[in-house]
């Protein structure tokens, strides 16, 4: 039996609500793990480390890299002044994921970048972000469901995206139109080098990007890993295409 490709999923910092004085933990939501497993990959949570040689060995273990969602990125990464709306910066995570994104692009390793991950890919390519959509784009649609409505927000379909014809994303999901959720308050401002936009919401906010000259480098602003099981199954094809690219890359 042929082995399945290992997909590295970047970790975030988590707190133990039952033991608030316990040491910090690194992990990621189970939805990423299940989406990769369903797609035929071997999910591997990549811990946040500071030794670059260790980072590199973790990167080399993987046939593909999934830059996952999470906290806001330090705006110093794109030469901007910190906004009071930017939340929960984790510099060590930023540093590691910036390296992972840079290495993946340079070496053409399959890369799927989700929410924060898409923003990190954009920054790695020299782009910038809006630090807070409501204050910087006051006419924008709702992109972050309010707290009082957020109990099941990852499963709420908020936008319908029209995908660019002939894009790698459209080819992966095999449809020209797809529904998605929305829980982000930051977004791409200036597009990074070699990235192209493959969908926007009607207010102009960028919802997906890709690199046409790479075998698989796709970013989505939403969280398809929370939808692909049964809410919007078309997203499952994105994970299948990603894992297939990682398997081909390893061959």
* 235 within 8 A of 224, measured Cβ to Cβ: yes
**pLDDT tens column, 221-236:** 999 999 999 999 999 9
Q: Calculate the average pLDDT of the chain.
A: 94
The pTM for the full model equals 0.96
Is-catalytic flag, 62? no
Choose the catalytic residue: 97, 225, 228, 232. 225
Q: Where are the beta strands (DSSP E) in the chain?
A: 6-10, 12-14, 25-27, 42-46, 64-67, 111-114, 129-130, 159-162, 177-180, 187-188, 196-200, 206-210, 217-220
Are 19 and 212 in contact, with CB atoms under 8 Å apart? no
Domain boundaries, the chain: 6-250
Rg (CA), the chain: 17
pLDDT tens string 122-154: 999 999 999 999 999 999 988 887 765 666 778
Strands 42-46 and 6-10: parallel
Choose, from 143, 159, 184, 223, the residue flagged as catalytic.
Answer: 223
Pick the CATH number of 6-250 from 3.90.1150.10, 3.40.50.970, 3.40.50.720, 3.40.50.880: 3.40.50.880
Indicate the length of the chain as a whole number: 251
Token duo for residue 33:
């793990």
Query: Catalytic one among 115, 143, 207, 232?
Result: 115
Q: From CA 146, how far away is CA 19, in angstroms rounded?
A: 28
Structure token pair of residue 111: 């890369």
Q: Are strands 111-114 and 217-220 parallel, antiparallel or unpaired?
A: parallel
Q: Report the pLDDT value the prediction gives residue 54, as an integer from 0 to 100.
A: 98
């Amino acid at each position: 039996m042929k082995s399945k490709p290992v997909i590295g999923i970047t970790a975030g910092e988590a707190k133990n609500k039952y033991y608030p004085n316990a040491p910090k933990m690194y992990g990621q939501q189970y939805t990423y793990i299940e989406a990769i497993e369903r797609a035929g990959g071997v999910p591997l949570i990549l811990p946040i480390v500071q030794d670059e040689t260790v980072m590199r060995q973790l990167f080399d273990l993987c046939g593909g890299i999934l830059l996952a969602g999470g906290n806001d990125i330090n705006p110093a990464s794109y030469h901007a002044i910190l906004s009071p709306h930017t939340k929960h910066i984790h510099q060590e995570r930023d540093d590691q994921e910036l390296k992972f994104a840079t290495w993946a692009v340079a070496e053409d390793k399959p890369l799927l970048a989700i929410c924060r991950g898409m923003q990190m890919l954009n920054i790695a390519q020299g782009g910038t972000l809006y630090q807070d959509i409501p204050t910087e784009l006051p006419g924008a649609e709702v992109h972050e469901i309010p707290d009082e409505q957020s109990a099941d927000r990852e499963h709420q379909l908020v936008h319908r995206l029209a995908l660019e014809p002939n894009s790698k994303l459209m080819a992966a999901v095999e449809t020209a139109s797809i529904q998605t959720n929305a829980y982000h308050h930051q977004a791409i401002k200036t597009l990074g080098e070699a990235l192209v936009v493959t969908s926007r919401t009607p207010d102009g906010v960028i919802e997906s990007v890709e690199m046409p000259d790479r075998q698989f480098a796709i970013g989505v602003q939403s969280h398809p890993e929370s939808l692909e099981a049964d809410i919007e199954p078309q997203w499952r094809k994105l994970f299948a295409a990603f894992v297939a690219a990682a398997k081909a890359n390893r061959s």
